[in-house]
Amino acid sequence: MRPVVSVVVVSDYAGSAGHAWNDVRRALAALAAQDLDEPFECLLVESSADPSTVPADLAKLLPGLRVVTDPGRGSYPLKNAGARAATADLVAILDADCTPRPDWLRVGLAALRADPAAIAVSGRTTYAGRGVGERALAVLSRAYLDPGAAGPTKFISNNNAIVRRADYLAHPLPTDGGPFASRMQSEAMRRRGARFLFEPGMVVVHEFEGWAMERDIRRNIGYGTIRIRQLDPSMPWAWMARLGAASIPLFVAARTIDSWWDAVRAGRHYGLRWYEQPVAFALAVVVHVLEIAGMRQAFRGEPITTTAYR
């Protein structure tokens, strides 16, 4: 039977080889446990330029697993390759360091089927939440597309989403803006009137490796914040990027205010208690200051080469 959805799994955060493959194992095991009563396929996409060998035990975790290779090295070229290789009309994008709940596919498909005009649905990404700092960082990193309840959103998650394949292929993820340039895809689709959904029950738990990971995330986010506006002058706030490095304080201030608002409106959905809001406010300042290094590199035309991101 033809699958109703193709799940594309890509490791975007490499880390150590052993750790990355353990992430893949957890993701595949969680996909094998999905409570969906309809056929779906799973594609693990790896770079043919990477000398690492796909462990043989992965197929045992998820029978029918398809391994797709592509010359691309970055996570976005690999996700695009997975969408091209998919056989279903719907493509689910899942980062390998995200563990979906058993009802992940069923809930996401139900949301799209209930609104045929929508071309994508994104889910809620949380961290394990082992402390107030981790819960706060989950809000600051993941709540940007979360309206707090099911309904329209302005973005498509690059790690936890289901997208209509034809629309994805018409507007693939950008391959020259770094690992946090997916907003270019969302904006290109929105310009032609596309509608996106958010479904809070479509939950994945994202691995969190501490401040080393957060620093890497933020440098890449800072780079992407500027780079996408250099590549696409019609992006929101692109006029600020045309000011050059002088715009960095403006971007940092604007992004910090946005994060404060995210913490207030969505914090409770990520386990953040009202009296922990000051922690989130303080961390928002810290993480956006960490983005400055990446912004500077983008303005200097220097790609980020030392990173665990693909």
Q: Are 10 and 149 members of one domain?
A: yes
Domain boundary among 209, 230, 245: 209
Range of the domain at 255: 212-300
Shortest CA distance to 79 belongs to which of 98, 96, 104? 96
Q: Map tokens 């992430």 to a residue.
A: 23
92 and 140 together in one domain? yes
Q: What is the C-alpha separation between 169 and 73, in angstroms, rounded? A: 19
> Is 309 domain-assigned?
no
Q: What is the dihedral of CA 69, 70, 76, 80, to 10 degrees?
A: -90
pTM score, whole prediction: 0.95
- 273 and 166 within one domain: no
Together in a domain, 61 and 200: yes
pLDDT tens digits along 149-193 = 999 999 999 999 999 999 999 999 999 999 999 999 999 999 999
Does residue 190 share a domain with residue 219?
A: no
Both 175 and 225 in a single domain? no
Predicted confidence pLDDT, tens digits, the chain (310 residues): 899 999 999 988 765 555 788 999 999 999 999 999 999 999 999 988 876 778 889 989 998 999 999 998 889 999 999 999 999 999 999 999 999 999 999 999 999 999 999 999 999 999 987 799 999 999 999 999 999 999 999 999 999 999 999 999 999 999 999 999 999 999 999 999 999 999 999 999 999 888 888 999 999 999 999 999 999 999 999 999 999 999 999 999 999 999 999 999 999 999 999 999 999 999 999 999 999 999 999 999 999 988 988 7
Same-domain pairing of 261 and 234: yes
CB 308 within 8 A of CB 23: no
Within this chain, do residues 246 and 101 fall inside the same structural domain, yes or no?
no
Q: Are residues 197 and 53 in the same domain?
A: yes
The span from the first CA to the last CA of the chain, in angstroms, equals 34
Residue 306 lies in a domain: no
pLDDT tens digits, residue range 36-52?
999 999 999 998 887 67
Residues 25 and 121 in one domain: yes
What pLDDT is recorded for position 275? 96
Same domain, 240 and 175: no
Q: Which of 209, 241, 259 is the last residue of a domain?
A: 209
Residue 305 inside a domain? The answer is: no
Longest dimension (CA), the chain: 57
Asked if the structure places residue 287 within a domain, the reply is yes
Which tokens go with 154?
Answer: 């302005």
Q: Kindly give the interhelix angle for 211-231 and 183-191, rounded to the nearest 10 degrees.
A: 40
Closest C-alpha to 270, from 150, 146, 173, 157: 146
In a domain, 51, yes or no: yes
Q: 94 with 131, same domain?
A: yes
Six-digit token string for 71: 């010359």
C-alpha closest to that of 6 among 116, 123, 85: 85
For residue 195, is it within any domain? yes
Comparing CA positions, the residue from 117, 79, 124 lying closest to residue 196 is 117
In a domain, 307, yes or no: no
228 domain-assigned? yes
Residues 6+ apart with CB under 8 A from 8: 43, 45, 79, 82, 83, 86, 91, 92, 93, 94
Tally of domains within the chain: 2
CATH number of the domain that residue 77 is part of: 3.90.550.10
Q: Which helix (H) or strand (E) holds 298?
A: helix 292-300
The residue from 185, 209, 233 where one domain ends is 209
